[in-house]
Amino acid sequence: MKSNAVFKRAHNRCLNMLAKHEPGSHLRSELDLALDLHVSRTTVRAVLSSLTDAGIIDRDGSRRHLARPPTAEDYFPEAQTESVGDVVGRRFMEWILQGDCRPGELINCAELARQFSTSTSAIREHLTHFNHFGLLERRPNSAWVFKGITADFAMEIYEIREMFELRSAHRFAELPPDAAAWAELNLIEQQHHNLLEDIDERYSEFSRLDERLHRLVHDASQNRFVQNFYDVISMIFHYHYQWDKVDEKERNYVALHEHIAYIRALRSRDLDAIDEKCRTHLQTARKTLLKSIDSLRQPAN
């Protein structure tokens, strides 16, 4: 019925924690573990009980201790730790990107549910989600229309992104000097330099830095609509990085330099410089996305 992915994720993370301790050492209280693992104590108890059954922990009276170090076989496979929602979201994007559905086509919930081997309820929930992302449209008491990741989509998303990011960057520049964001910005810049030094090997780590930098800037907006909108961007990019690997190293190299210039402009608090560097970077990013979208259509023809 309901998957126990929450339990399995907590189980695996608990094993990670235990791996850092010596056999014989005592475990912390159930409440502490619950807070650490971001689950309820009920779930922690289920985990502890399964770890006890596996002989990994043991109890003397009311306290528990590590009986043996966990091994690779004690972990649940990665695939089982994904919640139904995440699976549907991922498979839906894959389905879109593989061109199984063309812009303008109607979406068949029942068919998708079958294909993703889940219930129509789960599908429906995610259709409303993607509706809000501008990828779908609901026809009143009728089917859903797939609008597609098209050039229009990219243009529209970038129009908003530019408005929002420029506004947020200005707010960022106005942050008091002791704001935590400045420290985070410095840290992010340092990581840009580190990445550049080893670009040949680690270029694919750029996407995570990209997300962190832009999210940091957007958060300065203090506006829930700006922040929510970044979720749309973030999702598109998450998949974009996976679907288009052409020239990835070169693209990331350019983007890293643009980021560094943007970060410096932010630190200078010079609004004109910020606008210029931000616009330059977003224009490059838009071009890249448009090119990738163009390439999306090719294989299916």
Partner DNA sequence: AAATTGTTTTTTATCTTTAAAAAACTGAAA
Partner DNA sequence: TTTCAGTTTTTTAAAGATAAAAAACAATTT
Binding site residues, DNA, CB under 7 A: 1-7, 29-32, 39-43, 45-46, 61-64, 83-85, 107-111, 118-122, 124, 141-144
Residue of 41, 91, 129, 202 interacting with its own copies (CB under 8 A): 129
Residue closer to DNA, measured from CB, 46 or 254: 46
Site string for its own copies, 45-84 (x = CB under 8 A): --------------------------------------x-
Q: Which of residues 229-258 bind its own copies (CB under 8 A)?
A: 229, 232
- 284: closest CA among 259, 249, 265, 260? 259
Q: Is the dihedral of CA 253, 257, 262, 264 positive or negative?
A: positive
Residue 146, helix vs strand vs coil? strand
Q: How far is the CB of 31 from its own copies (least distance, A)?
A: 16
Q: Count Cβ atoms within 10 A of the Cβ of residue 251 and give its class: 0-12 exposed, 13-18 middle, 19 or more buried.
A: buried
Residue closer to DNA, measured from CB, 16 or 121: 121
Q: How far is the CB of 143 from its own copies (least distance, A)?
A: 11
CA diameter of the chain: 68
Residues 282 and 158: beta-carbon distance below 8 Å: yes
212 binds its own copies (CB under 8 A): no
- 11: closest CA among 53, 105, 74? 74
Residue of 39, 47, 169, 282 interacting with its own copies (CB under 8 A): 39
Residues 261 and 232: beta-carbon distance below 8 Å: no
Q: How far is the CB of 234 from DNA (least distance, A)?
A: 20
Q: How many residues bind its own copies (CB under 8 A)?
A: 29
Q: Which two tokens stand for residue 53?
A: 């059954």
Q: Count Cβ atoms within 10 A of the Cβ of residue 79 and give its class: 0-12 exposed, 13-18 middle, 19 or more buried.
A: exposed
Helical H segments across 108-247, by residue range: 109-115, 120-132, 151-173, 180-197, 199-202, 206-219, 224-243
Instruction: Single out the segment in contact with its own copies by CB under 8 A; choices: 45-53, 121-129, 255-263, 292-300.
Output: 121-129
Q: How far is the CB of 29 from DNA (least distance, A)?
A: 3
Q: Which does 119 bind (CB under 5 to 8 A by kind): DNA, its own copies, none?
A: DNA
Residues in touch with its own copies (CB under 8 A): 6, 38-39, 83, 121, 124-125, 128-129, 132, 134, 140-141, 147, 153, 156-157, 159-160, 163, 167, 222-226, 228-229, 232
